[in-house]
Copies of this chain bind each other. A is one copy, B any other.
Amino acid sequence: MTDLTQLDTPCLVVDRARVAANAERLISRLAALGVPLRLHVKTAKSLEAVEAVVGPGRPPITVSTLREAEQFFDGGYRDILYAVGFTPDKQARAKKLIERGAQLTLLTDSIETARAISGFRVLIEIDTDGHRAGLKPESEKLIPLANALRQSGNTVAGVMTHAGGSYDARGDAALRAIAEQERAGAVRAATRLREAGFFGGAAQAPQPIVSVGSTPTAHFAERLDGVTEVRAGVFVFFDLVMAGIGVCKVEDIALSVLTTVNGHRPDKGWTLIDAGWMALSRDRGTARQPVDQGYGLVCDIDGRPYHDLIVVETSQEHGVISHRSGGRVPELPVGTRLRILPNHACATGAQHGGYNVVEGKQEVPARWERFGGW
């Protein structure tokens, strides 16, 4: 069996035991709150990785691209929510997927889109934290948008919100508050639609979808009444941004980049590695957190963190490791293998074509392929 000393570096490593533990933690939490997970597959983009989270069944999933929808449909998934504002030019491709048997649900907050598309199940995007798209729960545009969707021959299937602003929340109380704000806003918008006559007719969904979620709010919500599903994705692997928010511990992070030391600059306190931004991504999500992890936190080949060693600078295929506060860097001879924990699992994963799977040890019993593109 291959092990981590034999792989070509840089490459992506995933710890299957940590994925299983991360999955169990969120799924059991949501079960206790009485709401199912609709896994967001944009983080993993891998049939094998997703199966490691949800099991051999083919439960409802969330996607961020039509390519993800197509790939997971081919893998047997049928109930697919495409959770990015739809554009009319994507209709033909979406229709093809529906004709093949997908129950595809689209998303919009735009009356222009509502008037231009026809024959789809659509959620209305609700903005509960001001960070991106969506109509406010009390928006005067909400009912006209739903009417426009119906008049064009679409089914208004419910509402969806994503409190991405939770990534900037700090502390349990703030996270619980934004989770409740996300829940309440989505439920309020759905209630307004119901009061306007939606979700009641025979041609409409009898039970509207009230879809909320982000990894932080999914882990901190105290109640989810009125919510029918929770979306989350990055919890599968977790990352330094999530650890910085307090959603996970560094020890929960399942994803890392395996790299090899290729030089030293003792005059500068630098150890150089063969993982640059191409392998780690340019994501600097911890830059605005209390602890800036640079381009990633350095671990040994077994995944044990050197807590003060980070990747302080990168170019395309070079990384520079240094002590975060100018302290001494341990001796790491040329050829030493290290693992770098990522700021943002979605971004780092996207730089690679697959996962080398480990389970605590250096042996690599499996490889999971991943896809990219649109």
Contact = CB atoms under 8 A, between A and B. Distances in A.
Nearest to A111: B334
Contacts of A99: none
A361 to B, nearest CB: 20
Nearest to A132: B318
Contacts of A87: 9, 260-262, 274, 334-335
B373 A352 contact: yes
Contact of A116 (B42, B335, B353): B335
A133 interface: yes
Given A133-B263, A282-B283, A353-B373, A274 B335 contact: no
Interface in A57-90: 64-66, 84-90
Nearest to A93: B8
Interface string A335-365: 1000000000011001111000000000000
A113 B262 CA distance: 8
B334 A132 contact: no
A34 interface: no
B65 A317 contact: yes
A335 B88 contact: yes
A213 interface: no
A351 B25 CA distance: 32
A110 B272 CA distance: 11
Interface string A303-335: 000000000010111101000000000000111
A65 to B, nearest CB: 6
Interface in A106-133: 108-110, 112-113, 116, 130, 132-133
Contact of A351 (B313, B316, B350): B350
Nearest to A285: B282
Nearest to A333: B112
Contacts of A262: 84-87, 108, 110, 113
Contact of A133 (B108, B265, B333, B351): B265
B374 A9 contact: yes
Contacts of A335: 87-89, 112, 116
Contacts of A130: 268
B89 A260 contact: yes
Interface string A1-20: 00000001111000000000
A317 B334 CA distance: 39
20 contacts: A8-B90, A8-B374, A9-B87, A42-B317, A64-B317, A65-B317, A84-B262, A84-B317, A85-B272, A86-B262, A87-B260, A89-B335, A108-B262, A113-B263, A116-B334, A132-B320, A133-B272, A133-B318, A282-B283, A353-B372
7 nearest A-B pairs in the assembled complex, by CB-CB distance: A282-B282, A85-B262, A112-B334, A64-B317, A85-B263, A282-B283, A87-B262
Interface of A: 8-11, 42, 64-66, 84-90, 93, 108-110, 112-113, 116, 130, 132-133, 164, 260-265, 268, 272, 274, 277-279, 281-284, 313, 315-318, 320, 333-335, 346-347, 350-353, 372-374
Given A112-B333, A133-B265, A316-B346, 18 more contacts: A8-B93, A11-B374, A42-B317, A85-B262, A85-B272, A86-B262, A87-B261, A87-B334, A89-B260, A89-B335, A108-B262, A110-B264, A112-B334, A113-B262, A282-B282, A351-B372, A352-B373, A353-B372
